[in-house]
């Protein structure tokens, strides 16, 4: 029952993916598919739930190992989104080279298939790859917020 609840929650979060990404950076145009990736806090919550399960079962870890995983997952704030677009990878890089698409981010490294962006203590990494065998491109957005900014947000 709890696992069904997790599935419904993650499906709902997938619907919100574009809005969340838009708060950070302009999503690439011509989106054909979106995949939600749980945040570190959500992974920590799931890990804490699993840590409370007393059996070893099919999880392949002991209860103590699951508690350690839960603690490690809650130590940092990292968020991921996966977007598929009909654009080619060159068009994706060209889109983000335009400053208006970046919402204040500066390009630190432009080395395909990677694009590293920075804004204060925040980091945004894009991994841009062909969506083989389908036409188009898949982009993994990875957002990380620095320790100083994390403390300001928690206060």
Phi-psi region at 138: left, alpha or beta (left = phi > 0; alpha = psi -120 to 50):
beta
What pLDDT does residue 154 have? 41
Which ranges of 25-146 does DSSP label H, i.e. alpha helix? Answer: 40-52, 63-73, 89-97, 99-102
Render each residue's pLDDT in the chain as its tens digit; 155 residues.
666 776 676 676 677 788 888 999 999 999 998 887 776 666 666 666 656 655 544 444 566 665 565 555 455 567 888 999 999 999 999 999 999 999 999 999 998 999 999 999 899 999 999 977 888 999 999 998 765 443 444 44
For the domain bounded by 2-38+77-154, which CATH number is listed?
A: 3.30.310
What pLDDT does residue 152 have? 44
CB burial of 38-51 (b: ≥16 within 10 Å; e: otherwise) equals bbbebbbbbbbebb
Residue indicated by tokens 């320790």: 147
The pTM score is 0.68
Domain boundaries, the chain: 2-38+77-154, 40-75
């Amino acid at each position: 029952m709890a696992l069904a609840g997790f599935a419904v929650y993650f499906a709902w979060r997938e619907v919100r993916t574009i809005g969340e990404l838009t708060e950070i950076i302009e999503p690439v145009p011509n989106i054909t598919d979106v995949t939600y990736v749980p945040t570190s806090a959500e992974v920590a919550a799931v890990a804490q739930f699993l840590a409370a399960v007393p059996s070893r079962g099919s999880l392949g870890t002991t209860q103590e190992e699951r508690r350690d995983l839960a603690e490690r997952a809650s130590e940092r704030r990292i968020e991921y989104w996966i977007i598929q677009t009909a654009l080619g990878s060159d068009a994706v890089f060209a889109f983000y080279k335009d400053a208006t698409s970046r919402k204040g981010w500066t390009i630190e490294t432009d080395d395909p298939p990677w694009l590293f962006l920075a804004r204060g203590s925040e980091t945004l990494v894009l991994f841009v790859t062909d969506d083989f065998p389908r036409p188009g491109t898949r982009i993994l957005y990875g957002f990380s917020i620095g320790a100083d900014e994390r403390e300001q947000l928690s206060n």
